[in-house]
Structure 1
Amino acid sequence: MEKFIPAEDDTMTLTFDDGVEMECAVVAVFPVGEKNYIALLPLEAQDKEEAEVYIYRIIADNEDDVQLENIESDEEWEIVADAYDEFMDNEEFEELFED
């Protein structure tokens, strides 16, 4: 899977263990090693620059059946968070030259 930046209206609803639902914008889908990850930003976030981004591992049996898994290990989290930060830095850098 190559890095993917979704359309502005791509959203996903997260349902937490306590039943609370949160509508999120899909920020990016990106590979790290042989696994794929998704970054989600809550739509209700007031300050998009400072809002918490949720990152999950994607498990896809096929195109119609996609599940999200929490990243449990600190080591995997560090690797994925660094990859996300680098991905976003590259996107911001490219946007500077598009304007």
Structure 2
Amino acid sequence: MKETNQLRSQYGDDIILYDEQDESTVYRILAEFKLGEQGYAVIQSDELKKEEEVAIFKVSVKQDGELELETIEDDDEWETVSELYDEMTFPADIE
């Protein structure tokens, strides 16, 4: 795993996402990293923060060079990425 900053470089600390009804939500970029060749982003809206939850997405690069967030469809992949983020955020206590 390697930490990256592709989204922050392009958008700053916050990113605006739109839902199916074209409603916008501001998300804070908490972490970005690559696992192998695949990039991931951990983001959090004010609503998710209240619930102490985060959203995790794949980061891909479109042909025009623009970054795109994609939902992680595979449960095993999501679990792996979620656990890696937990380890980054809450390192194991060193005895």
CA RMSD across the alignment: 2.8
Separation (CA, whole Å) in 1 of partners of 2:81 and 2:36 = 9
Aligned length: 88
Alpha-carbon distance between aligned partners in 1 of 2:75 and 2:58, rounded to the nearest angstrom: 14
1:29 aligns with 2:26: no
The structural deviation recorded for 1:34 is 2.0
* AA in 2 matched with 1:32: L
After the TM superposition, list the runs of 4 or more consecutive aligned residues in structure 1 that deviate by more than 4 angstroms. Answer: none
2:83 match: secondary structure: helix
Q: Which amino acid aligns with 2:2?
A: E
Q: Which runs of 5+ in 1 are unaligned?
A: 94-99
Change (3 A) 1:43 1:62: farther
**What does the per-residue CA deviation read over 1:36-59, in whole Å, with 9 as the maximum and x for residues that have no partner?**
100111135563xx4321110000
For residues 45 and 59 of structure 1, what CA distance do their matches in structure 2 show?
23
Q: Which residue of 1 aligns with 2:66?
A: 65
